[in-house]
Structure 1
Amino acid sequence: MNILILGGTQFVGRHIVEAFVDSGHAVTVLTRGKSKDELPAMVERVHGDRDDGPAGLAALDGREWDACVDVSGYTPRQVRASAEGLQGRVGRYVFISTVSVYAEPGRHPVREDDPLSAPTAEDVTEVSGATYGPLKVACENIVHEVYGGHSTVLRPQIVAGPFDHTARYPYWGDRAARGGAVLAPGDGSDFLQVIDARDLARFTVRVVEHGIDGIFNLAGPRLGWADFMVLLGVTDPVWVDAQAQKASGLSSRELPVYVPAGGEQGGLMDVDPARALAAGLTLTDPLVTAQDTRAWSRDAGLQYALTPQREAEVLGALGQG
């Protein structure tokens, strides 16, 4: 099959590109050319920018593909340009959305039919913590409007794995590797749930190859934080509860991928992937995800919000230094 991928040089897009190539498909990537490109040589690169509207897709004029996978659509302006511009020229439109679209993220578990946030207006272009989910809702609506039954929407949990430049999940493996007392959020009873990027990529290939319609949550096994620390090899976790976090001024950026189970967002660490599993989603063992991410991140030069110095200061103030 001939596959068009909108945004494919970084992390999730890169894994999706490689999965299609490994499955024997011909891949064209639309890229702005601003990110480091380590894709296989046989991948065709064309340049464009959907922020420029239809004009930004001129390089795709006159061509057809069996499917389009939209990895980089964050605003309605971007997705409207590609969805309408490619109408009649792609057999299926696969949109990579997010579990952040749900209006009631405290639900347990979160399922595909749960209420969504109100969509933004189509002229909203600022992507922030407050607009990210509503923007994706607006983008999903455009895809459904233009492609109907020839569309697939994938809503991944936090994505983990090699090439994760977000510096969220990789923090914990890198921190565990340094040893010593590790500042750990909560009391060990909260939960962590991610989706391995390679599982997301394989499922994307599957929905294209088998023409699978619908909306799917993509999430991996749900681990308690105490189990996650054991999995990482942490022997001396120092649990810092919500009160101590507040007193120490610890921000969510300093404790990446941590979501209190009883908090307003707690359901986002309890996402139900049953529909996707029934459609063929396969899941990587969490230990393999952690080990492979660490194998990549040890030489990636990632910068983390919680520095060793800051961690030592917090632990010292708590009498744990």
Structure 2
Amino acid sequence: MNIAFTICSNNYLAQAKTLGDSFLEHHPNWKFIIGLVDEFDSSFDYSQFNNFEIVKVKDINVPEFESLVIKYNIIELNTAVKPTFIEHIFINYNADKLIYLDPDILVLSYFEEVITMLDSVDIIITPHICSPIDDDYAPTDYHTLRGGVYNLGFIALARFNRVNGFIKWWGDRVLKYGFCDFSRNMFYDQMWINYLPSLFDNYHIIKHLGYNMANWNLHERKLTNLANENFCINHQQPLRFFHFSGYKYNYPNKIASYLTRYNFETRTDLKDLFSLYQKYLLDNDIENTSQLKVFYRLIHENAKANLTKKTLIEKIMNRLKVTINVFFTGKK
């Protein structure tokens, strides 16, 4: 069985459905799974996801999961459980080929190159960029380097018996060091993949420009809409998928929140695709799903608030002890 999957919480279900619909449109013989890092919200009807299977994170035996909910914010938590989801799907679904995609991706055509390569290659990843960029705008190759050479919005794997060592190593690292903290050289699950070429074998870094087009590599990729949502890059390669990282459906005039190099006036080639993506999100009820309760975020924030209160109380008590000591002894 060949399987593709994504991971999200309730507030990203519209993006996940948009991804799943687009993937199955071009890969009808594959199974699509949504790994839900959340509980079901009783106010929402999940039956619209019947074309997919939803697997809750609490059902995949993530080591010390309750502690991770306290330790990580909701984005860190979603990325930290990715290797465990991969292991779970390989084992419990007997997957032959497995592709992970971030929920904020739209698939535009069949993954011919990746699926063929998985017949002989165990792991496939994509770099953020395939040519350098350094100017006064963001993001440059310096900015992307801080998040890792490779983008983990996509990873493809095959043959669990050969990749289980990689999955275990990666899983151990992100469960321990899965923070987003540039001051400590941490960026979710992504930085660890920098080690892939030196620690593991039989991998492939795919440089086909149609895979993982995103705001960080627009300097090297220009779109042409040939017809019927058939997009081509640089008049040479078909667009396989676009990664809408940093895009906000309710701010449709911005390509990405942190992109300063381009806008839709300088990159008119992107307008059709972004308009199409926004329509899909609205059709998939993003205005409501983005407001759904995110249970693990609430638990994390409450725990963090309680810890802050506890720390404050401890400081007050320590100062009070000093004041009392001075009052009775006259000594500071």
Please report the TM-score for the alignment, with normalisation by the length of structure 1. Answer: 0.37
Structure (1/2) with the larger helix percentage: 2
- Higher Rg: 2
The structure whose RCO (Cα within 8 Å, separation 6+) is larger is 2
